Amino acid sequence: MNNYQNILLAIDFSDYDHYVAQRAKHLSDQFNAHLHIIHVLDNIPMPDTPYGTVIPLNEDSSYDLLEAEKNKLIQISDQLDIAPTRRWMVWGEPQQEITQLAVQEQIDLIVVGSHGRHGLAVLLGSTAKEVLYHAECDVLTVHLRDN
Amino acid sequence: MNNYQNILLAIDFSDYDHYVAQRAKHLSDQFNAHLHIIHVLDNIPMPDTPYGTVIPLNEDSSYDLLEAEKNKLIQISDQLDIAPTRRWMVWGEPQQEITQLAVQEQIDLIVVGSHGRHGLAVLLGSTAKEVLYHAECDVLTVHLRDN
């Protein structure tokens, strides 16, 4: 049985990100895997681009909120030693974008928190069955406590 | 961040068990963790015991079907080098019994397949949200293909 080779960490900048990120980092170190990171923008206004378009992190934006999100992603990615080519910020529905990116990047393990906007609570919503059931790779749900 | 120390493999004797079992074994070796195994009896008649009672594997039974299930569990557990004290066969609802045992045995990672009676397809049923959302530990869903 092969080790995981490409691990995708899905974060939503909630208070729980740190713990989920540490788990993903720990696993990628343990397996000597490439660590990828995705943040899906589902709560800020979309600029004049096609829905779901990937936003290059090196592109200027006039939206302060977008800049703030970019900076957060860069900061977390730097802390985790994630290569710039493996950082993704995408507009769209979290479950759809996470699953699509996983296929595109040949991810074999997705790591999500049990809470938060990208977490299991959301994934278990109306489209959850389709998403997790049809995900093309393993999914680790990191348990997070509310307190 | 600590390694996982107690990993619980949930199997249902489906055609997919082998792959899920190998993943759980691989992880437990990698993390030097104790590997536990549970099979929940949800598809055979229940003998005259309280619902949900744990069935000692060394107890004689007059039920051929139960014997067959016991033997399967013993065979798989032997192959995975799982200590007899970490093998569990329980009557009840898979999601409920798996979650309860995880708490009882201080499990920090549950490994389930994405298909099968104990798999995600079932866990994502009516009680799924309660189960996975309130699970007291991480959950790894191993992706299985239908073909």
Average pLDDT for runs of 10 along chain B of length 147: 92 81 95 94 61 56 73 95 95 84 94 65 43 75 71
pLDDT along chain A (147 residues), means of 10: 92 81 95 94 60 56 73 95 95 84 94 65 43 74 71
Tell me which residues of chain A, numbers 40 to 69, contact chain B at a CB-CB cutoff of 8 Å. none
Per-residue model confidence (pLDDT) at position A147: 41
From residue B138, how far is each of A83, A143, B39, B71, B107 by CA, in Å? 26, 5, 19, 29, 9
Using CB atoms within 10 A of its CB, is residue B92 exposed (0-12), middle (13-18) or buried (19+)?
A: middle
Contact (CB, 8 A) for B44 and B63: yes
Give the position of tokens 């990828």: A36
pLDDT for position A129: 44
Please tell me which residue of chain A has the smallest CA distance to B130.
A121
Note the pTM of the prediction, 2 decimals: 0.81
Amino acid A101: pLDDT: 93
Tell me how close the Cα of B70 comes to any Cα of chain A, in angstroms: 27
- Residues 109 to 138 of A: which have CB under 8 A from any B CB? 114, 120-121, 124, 128-129, 132-133, 135-138
Residue B13 φ then ψ, to 5°: 60, 30
Contact B26/A137, CB-based, under 8 Å? no
Give me the residues paired with residue B34 across strands: B6
Q: Rounded to the nearest 5 degrees, what angle is found at the Cα of A26, between the Cα atoms of B133 and B3?
A: 75
From first CA to last CA, the distance across chain A in angstroms is 37
